[in-house]
């Protein structure tokens, strides 16, 4: 998540510190060792494939949020 957050901040041209709370880390003995998003099953069963890259999707999302500030309360998302 940290890498993803840093990517978004770079794309926005922002330098905001990201805090890491160890209490929210995956427990050492967690039964889930790695989370992976893989869309192969949707492709096989539904014939679906993504048409937007992660970079393009983030750019579109950033532009939408920037263009619609009345829908987002920035203070709500800051600790």
pTM, full prediction: 0.63
Q: What is the mean pLDDT of residues 2-23?
A: 88
What are the structure tokens assigned to 47, written together?
């014939």
**9 assigned to some structural domain:** yes
**76 assigned to some structural domain:** yes
**67 assigned to some structural domain:** yes
CA–CA distances in Å: residue 74 to residues 19, 48, 61, 69, 71: 17, 34, 15, 9, 10
Number of domains in the chain: 1
C-alpha–C-alpha distance, residues 56 and 51, integer Å = 10
**63 assigned to some structural domain:** yes
**Residue ranges making up the domain that contains 43:** 1-15+39-79
**27 assigned to some structural domain:** no
Taking only the tens place, the pLDDT of each residue in 31-77 is: 777 777 788 999 999 999 999 999 999 999 999 988 888 887 766 66
């Amino acid at each position: 998540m940290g890498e993803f957050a840093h990517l978004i901040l770079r794309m926005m041209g922002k330098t905001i510190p990201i805090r890491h709370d160890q209490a929210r880390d995956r427990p050492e003995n967690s039964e889930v060792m790695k989370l992976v998003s893989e869309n192969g099953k949707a492709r096989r069963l539904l014939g679906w494939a993504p048409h937007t890259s992660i970079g393009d999707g983030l750019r579109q999302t950033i532009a939408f949020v920037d263009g619609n500030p009345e829908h987002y309360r920035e203070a709500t998302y800051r600790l």
